[in-house]
A and B are shown apart, each in its own frame.
Chain A
Amino acid sequence: MATVNNDIKTYKGFRAITLLCLLVLYAPLVIVTIYSFNASASITNWEGLSFRWYADVFTGPESDKFKVAAFNSFTIAIMAATASTTIATLAATAMVRGGKFKLRTVSFGLISLPLMVPEIVTAVATLIFFNSIGFTRGYLTILVAHIAFCIPFAYLPISARMQGIEDSFEQAAMDLYATKRQAFTKVLMPLMAPGIISGFLLAFIVSLDDFIITNFVKGAGVETLPTAIFGSVKQGIKPNIMAISTMLLSFSIVMVTISYFVSKSDNTK
């Protein structure tokens, strides 16, 4: 492929469109980042550089609300990502290393169900479900809903990684009298690490960012960061929200960078 003349590959204008695309993607975020450092309380006038809105996030009148929301968001995201990654790893092992079986397609359909159903439908269905079994909405309802819809996001990178690992490593271990359990935990799992980490991070971020489903299943006074932010931005975006957004953006960039380097080390095979 590398021998193909570059002139044949490239098309005039595609670079310009790509740059336009990046401009469109980044312009709103850059603007929000810039205005988060605005000294003015007004979102429309620029009155000099200041960190007051960052201080406001931690000490201002709404700080308690956002601290609690951040705590809820991160604990839910960690637990949901851990649970869904575990479930997805087990499922991937069955799907990739379990031979051919009748329910394989059905299982795959079930696992990818949260990806196929529009989010608003999942949200409504979950609300109806909790309501009909008389389950009081709160922290726990958010957590179980997140575990469920994070499973496919954890599953995809994990199963992709597993398909890329040749079976011969485990076979070799078992030839040397390792039990299946040992082959799984001592051989397959370490090789799987990059895939599991990507799956975990993906599930973590998806849970951290979810608004629609959380908004439907959350209970009284239990806010996550997105629902707390929504409560504020509906009345117009305020500088403290811009500061929170910028911090979340930085956090996401760090996470994605980590997963980027993890997947780069994915050249072991």
Chain B
Amino acid sequence: MKTMLKTTAAALALTVGATAAAAEEKVVLYHWFEYMPQELLDKFTAETGIKVTMDTFDSNEAMLASLKAGAIGTYDLSVPGDYMVAILKNQGMLDTIADGELKNKANISDQWLDVDFDPGRMHSIPYQWGSTSFSVNRDDYQGDIQSTDILFNPPEELKGRINVLDSQADVLAMASLHLGIPQCTNDREQLKALNALVQGAKENWTSFNSDTAKEVLVSGDVSAGMIWNGFSAKARAEGANVEYAYPEQGMLVWMDNIVLLKDAPNRENALKFLDFMLEPENVAALTNWTQYSAGVDGVSDHLDEALRTSPENNPPAGVSTAFIQVCDEQTQAVYDTIWTNLKK
């Protein structure tokens, strides 16, 4: 039945999709929302004649789920965060970029070349890197904000006016920093404390939202919110009096990467796109737009002055940082339980 269905489907697809698929050169990108300026895609199309089709996701986990649910083989490229690159690799979902396939590979900064989630950059190139912390509306709260207490033990003014990212990995990693316990700990007491912390903090949170993390701060729907540094800079540019916090307990850092997916339908075009995204000029245009930081050499000359000096991109000395770690299956099961308990 399987073959029969497939044959019928293929025949139908030929008749139905004949006009749409008229041998158009394209590349299909599975990307975060609001993370790619249209102008850059247009520039790529103008230079190469390849059209970019883009789908969006709102969390690393949602992207993984969709790829697992049968989307692998339909996308060429995706943009996972650091730890998700490692997971996708373990899942066998990444294609290998052979030596010499990328002519601009040398542009990758040394610091981001031999990363532990993809040693030697066999499957990925840097996209942007930045940090995850939280921002507070200074009109609503004037006190000290350089502590994760703002999220997990908030002052009276902020109670019930906090948005957190709808992402298990980010929330539990941030909570681990607050408690000063290692991420993905398998110590039972520590896990119980983690569970108790987020359970208790929830009553002070008004929403779990990643997509609107910026919008709720700008519109004033919340007074504090977990957010990425570039997003916070954009919120400030859009008129919100928000300050991005550098908590003493530490903050999360991340690097997003463009990966070549397994069974990419337009592999050649995908490689061209990767090369395009390694050109310093293009990366600078991207960085000026996203307000994060680049992982490619030669970008700084093209950067906006405002971005170079922005408080969101210049952490004070001595802030400790941590990447999100990949938990083993057993700890992940406990994390899942904590998360479901949190949202029940």
Q: List 16 A-B contacts (CB under 8 A).
A: A62-B38, A134-B2, A135-B9, A136-B70, A137-B70, A137-B71, A138-B13, A139-B17, A140-B9, A140-B12, A221-B28, A221-B53, A221-B54, A234-B33, A235-B34, A236-B215
**Inter-subunit contact B38/A61 (CB<8 Å):** yes
Give Cα A34–Cα B54 distance, bound, in whole angstroms: 31
Contact check, B53 vs A135: say whether CB atoms are below 8 A apart: no
* Cβ A220 vs Cβ B13 within 8 A: no
Contact B212 A219 (CB under 8 A): no
**Which chain B residues lie closer than 8 Å to A231 at the CB level?**
33, 55-56
- Across-interface contacts of A234 in B (CB, < 8 A): 33, 58, 211-212
The answer for the CA separation of A231 and B53 in the assembled complex, in Å, is 14
Q: How far is the CB of A133 from chain B (nearest CB, A)?
A: 5
Collect the chain B residues with CB atoms within 8 Å of residue A235's CB: 33-34, 211-212, 214-215
The answer to whether residues A223 and B55 also contact, given A134-B2, A139-B20, A234-B212 and a CB cut-off of 8 A, is yes
Q: Please give the distance in Å from B232's CB to the nearest CB on chain A.
A: 15
Further 7 A-B residue pairs, CB within 8 A, beyond A137-B70, A140-B16, A221-B55: A79-B16, A133-B1, A135-B6, A138-B13, A139-B17, A234-B211, A234-B212
> A250 near B: Cβ within 8 Å?
no
Contacts of A220 in B (CB 8 A): 28, 30, 53, 55, 71, 74-75
Q: Report the minimum CB–CB distance from A124 to chain B (whole Å).
A: 10
Residues of chain B with a CB closer than 8 A to A79's CB: 16
Is A44 among interface residues, defined by CB-CB distance under 8 A?
A: yes
Residues from chain A with a CB closer than 8 A to the CB of B54 are 65, 221
Q: Which of A65, A127, A134, A143 is within 8 Å of B16, CB to CB?
A: A143
Q: Are A219 and B2 in contact (CB under 8 A)?
A: no
Q: Which of B33, B53, B74 contacts A137 (CB 8 A)?
A: B74
Interface residues of B in 1-21 (CB under 8 A from A): 1-2, 5-6, 9, 12-13, 16-17, 20
B69 with A131: CB separation less than 8 A: yes
A interface list, Cβ under 8 A from B: 44, 61-62, 65, 79, 127, 130-131, 133-140, 143, 219-221, 223, 231, 234-236
Chain A residues, Cβ within 8 Å of B30 = 220
- In the assembled complex, the CB of A66 is this many whole angstroms from the nearest CB of chain B, namely 12
Q: How far is the CA of A202 from the CA of B75 in the complex (A)?
A: 34
State A235–B39 Cα separation when bound (angstroms). Answer: 20
- The answer to whether B33 touches A133, judged by C-beta atoms less than 8 angstroms apart, is no
Most chain B beta carbons < 10 A, residue from A134, A135, A136, A220: A220
Contact-size category for B: 20 to 34
Residues of chain B in range 51-99 having any CB-CB distance to chain A below 8 Å = 53-56, 58, 69-71, 73-75
B residues near A221, Cβ cutoff 8 Å: 28, 53-55, 74-75
Q: Which A residues touch B5, using CB under 8 A?
A: 133, 135
Q: Among the listed B16, B71, B214, which residue makes an inter-chain contact with A219, where contact means beta carbons less than 8 Å apart? A: B71
Q: Is the CB of A131 within 8 A of B70?
A: yes
User: Counting CB contacts under 8 A, is B48 at the interface?
Assistant: no
With both chains docked as a complex, state the minimum distance between the C-beta of A176 and any C-beta of chain B, in angstroms. 41
Cα(A52)–Cα(B108), bound, Å: 41
The residue among A127, A139, A143, A236 with the most chain B CB atoms within 10 A of its own CB is A236
Closest to B17 in A: A139
Instruction: Tell me if B74 and A219 are in contact (CB < 8 A).
Output: yes
Give Cα A219 to B13, complex, Å.
13
Kindly state the separation between the CA atoms of A41 and B189 in the bound complex, as whole angstroms: 50
A131 to B72, CA, bound (A): 11
Contact residues in A for B13 (Cβ distance below 8 Å): 138-140
Which residue of chain B has the shortest Cβ distance to A140 in the bound complex? B13
Task: Determine whether B219 belongs to the interface, using a CB cutoff of 8 Å to chain A.
Answer: yes
Q: Which residues of A contact B6 (CB under 8 A)?
A: 133-135
Residues of B within 8 A of A136 (CB): 70, 73-74
A131-B70, A136-B73 known; A236-B2 Cβ under 8 A: no
Which residues of chain B come closer than 8 Å to A143, judged between CB atoms? 16
Which residues does chain B contribute within 8 Å of A62, judged by CB atoms?
38
Q: Are B74 and A130 in contact (CB under 8 A)?
A: no
Residue ID in chain B nearest A128 by CB atoms = B69
CB distance from B273 to the nearest CB of A (A): 14
Cβ of B54 to closest chain A Cβ, rounded Å: 7
B204-222 vs A, CB cutoff 8 Å, 1 = contact: the mask equals 0000000110110001000
A137 proximity list for chain B (CB < 8 A): 70-71, 74
Shortest beta-carbon distance from B217 to chain A in Å:
11
A130 with B38: in contact, given A140-B9, A220-B28 (CB under 8 Å)?
Answer: no
**A101 to B: closest C-beta gap in Å:** 27
